[in-house]
A and B are shown apart, each in its own frame.
Chain A
Amino acid sequence: MISIVSTLKIALRALWVNKMRSSLTMLGIIIGVSAVIVMLAVGTGVSRKVSSQISSIGSNLIIIMPGSSTQGGVRMGGGSQSTLTVDDADAILRDCSAVAAIAPMQFGNAQAVFGNQNWSTGVQGTTPGILEVKDCGLSAGRNMNDQDLRSATKVCLLGQTVVDNLFGSMDPVGQIIRIKKIPFTVIGVLESKGQSLGGQDQDDTIIVPLSTAQKKLFGRTIPGLVRTIMVKARSTEELSVAERQITDLLRQRHRIGPNKEDDFTVMNLTQVLKMAEQTANIFALLLGAIASVSLLVGGIGIMNIMLVSVTERTREIGIRMAIGAKTWDIRIQFIIEALTLSLIGGILGIIIGSAGSFILSTFFDIPSVVSLLSVLVSFSFSGLVGIFFGFYPAYKASLLNPIDALRFE
């Protein structure tokens, strides 16, 4: 077989002679490969974003909210009924084996003041379990403890945003801030978690003991009732077990008859996020279907053009054969030509696809990440298409009879 360099030169010349035809033939491959690149980029981007969000809101998270209440025929929506209590939370932690940690919560908005700075934010009254439930650590100070909870001490944990706004660069631990004019000692600072799925700043928060919140900050609520209970399951596998155990336990505790509706809602947040990921995957899969159809059509286009090319160049093939080209010399010449066509198409597709995914993530806020793997995969795939669809025309060319080929007009 003659050298690849010489064959490549022959192929490039043949393609250059028919510039228009070559570029139109490449179009199918270009569209296919760029769709593959965008598809893989969106797929990776979304699943990365989802998994980072799962880890930021806390993994294996279940949220229990009170059910809806009805006032004079008007249904008030989820959470309007006050049915969940601190005792429910304690019972769940005690009786549900699949539950790892729990945090009953009461929250409201309040203004916090330090020195001449003030900042309005959400205040969450909860228990020490909140840090474990949310997979959140402390960047300074200590967590609240059971003692704080029992005696409703006026201590608080601050999110990073609150620290920035009230203290600037000063160390807040040990300082006293006023929340609703009541002095609280800052005992710790939460690790920064960034934005949530909905774009909320998760660092813009103050955490105080549940008992303190109920007695001193949001006095209007009946003591013992909570707005929500956040639960962490032991593992992803045990999420649904935990969900069932909680539902059974609460129905029993709330004395709900077999055919009555629950007076609470159990929500599995990880499931919600996983659904978002699935939606993204379906989108990616659709693009993938377009990509494979386009690659197939592109491949057939290459085959078609190569067949035309073989017929057009029958005489050239005859001359080459008369001069001493062997079967594989001819075969490789046409395969390399098809391969060059598809690989150039592949490279252009990779460039266009990468640009497309850049535009998607920059201007349309769709997370997309072009990975080296996806570039390699689509490049080699376009190569395979070229070889696969180039082989038959090349095979046909190589089997021509030299005299017939020479006489071909």
Chain B
Amino acid sequence: MSLIETRKLVKIYDVGEEGVHALEDVSVKIEKGEFVAIMGPSGSGKSTFMNIIGCLDQPTAGDYLLDGHKIGGLSRDELAAIRNRQIGFVFQGFNLLARTSALENVELPLLYNHVPAGERKRQSLDALKMLGLEGREHHHPNQLSGGQQQRVAIARALVNKAPILMADEPTGNLDTKTSVEIMELLVQLNNHSGTTIILVTHESDIAAFSKRIIRFLDGHVISDEKVSKT
């Protein structure tokens, strides 16, 4: 059984008379512990695909099975619970809460998972420490560099021990050096903790850090190949 399995996913956006076909018959399997990069130009459907497998959006047709369970037809709150416990998100724009300390940002998933305050703080400090952010716990996002902000976001994605990490252009707002640092961090996570990582990017040198690349074009999967490490 695959961790993530989609069967003939279709997503149509209602824009004007004709719907826009963002995804057409996309069937993909991702196993536990994989590091997959999803590539494609803008409008290719790669983000739509990630939103659906990230339980942020529902497909128009087709099935999505997460860990063997059908996701279609779940309520908003059931989806929220899955996002909370199974999936950690890292976004291009970091998406940290402004005027909220790094520690409190990392605590958020635990807050919505009803973890008691003391335990919440302990786990969040651990996650920040793991990402080398000791001493920055009480800094607000605007007091942190882009790389540090993205690390806080990764800490937040990992703090609930979610088995899947989804990163949407995580290096899009970072310079090359920091990008490499963040990518090495993800590789390390994948190797040591066995976290399944799904990365959306349009840069091939970023995709090169992954182990498998799926290419999208016009809502279809056009290639799916292992990355040969040299």
A residues apposed to B, CB below 8 Å: 2-3, 6, 13, 17, 315-316, 318-327, 329, 402-403, 406
Contacts and interface: CB of A to CB of B under 8 A. Distances in A.
Given A6-B111, A321-B83, A322-B95, 19 more contacts: A2-B112, A2-B114, A13-B99, A319-B96, A319-B97, A322-B54, A322-B83, A323-B108, A323-B109, A324-B83, A324-B84, A324-B109, A324-B113, A325-B112, A326-B76, A326-B80, A329-B112, A402-B57, A403-B51
B151 interface: no
Contacts of A13: 99-100
Contacts of B97: 316, 319
B41 to A, nearest CB: 18
B112 A406 contact: no
Contacts of A320: 108, 112
Given A315-B95, A403-B56, A406-B95, A323 B84 contact: yes
24 contacts: A2-B111, A6-B111, A13-B99, A316-B97, A318-B95, A319-B97, A320-B112, A321-B83, A322-B56, A322-B89, A322-B95, A323-B83, A323-B84, A323-B89, A323-B156, A324-B80, A324-B81, A324-B112, A325-B112, A326-B77, A402-B56, A402-B57, A406-B56, A406-B91
A325 B114 CA distance: 11
Contacts, number: 60
Contacts of B96: 319
B46 interface: no
Q: Chain A's interface: helix, strand, loop or mixed, by majority?
A: helix
Nearest to B47: A403
A329 B98 CA distance: 19
A385 to B, nearest CB: 27
Residue of A316, A319, A321, A329 with most chain B CB atoms under a 10 A cut-off: A319
Interface residues of B, number: 28
A319 B106 CA distance: 12
A329 B81 CA distance: 12
Q: Across chains A and B, which 6 residue pairs bring their CB atoms closest together, nearest first?
A: A324-B84, A324-B112, A326-B77, A326-B80, A319-B95, A402-B56
Nearest to B153: A319
Residue of A320, A322, A327 with most chain B CB atoms under a 10 A cut-off: A322
Nearest to B79: A402
A325 B80 contact: yes
A403 B57 contact: yes
Interface in B67-126: 76-77, 80-81, 83-85, 89, 91, 95-100, 108-109, 111-114, 117
Contacts of A402: 56-57
B57 to A, nearest CB: 5
Contacts of A321: 80, 83
